[in-house]
Amino acid sequence: MRSRHEITPEIEDFRDQRCRREGARQVRTAHEAEGFIEQVGFAACLTDSRRPGPSLHVAVCGRRDAVMPRNIQKDEEASATDDKPY
């Protein structure tokens, strides 16, 4: 029997596609970021995989396990999410 909080592989695959948590669908431009937010309806910008829901940071990183570092000023992925002109 599955634990109450276990997520099935099918749901994880759906989230990978929908939230662009895979490298092939990763957000690379401002236009793609706008399209991503239009697709999901809304997205948090600087949250990581530890928070539920769509995240622009995770979509820019293009991987399921993206975590915001302590020092975001020196992190390339966080900079791309925040203020990089793409």
Per-residue pLDDT at 63: 85
Q: SS3 string of the chain?
A: CCCCCCCCHHHHHHHHHHCCCCHHHCCCCHHHHHHHHHHHCCCECCCCCCCCCCEHHHHHHCCCCCCCCCCHHHCHHHHHHHCCCC
Q: Look at residue 3 in the predicted model and tell me its pLDDT.
A: 59
Ordered per-residue pLDDT tens for the chain, 86 residues: 555 678 899 988 888 888 888 888 889 888 998 999 999 988 887 787 788 888 888 888 888 888 877 766 677 777 776 654 44
The whole-angstrom separation of Cα 48 and Cα 54 is 9
Q: The whole model's pTM is what? A: 0.68
pLDDT score of 86 = 46
Domains of the chain, by residue range, sit at 9-81
Question: What pLDDT does residue 38 have?
Answer: 92
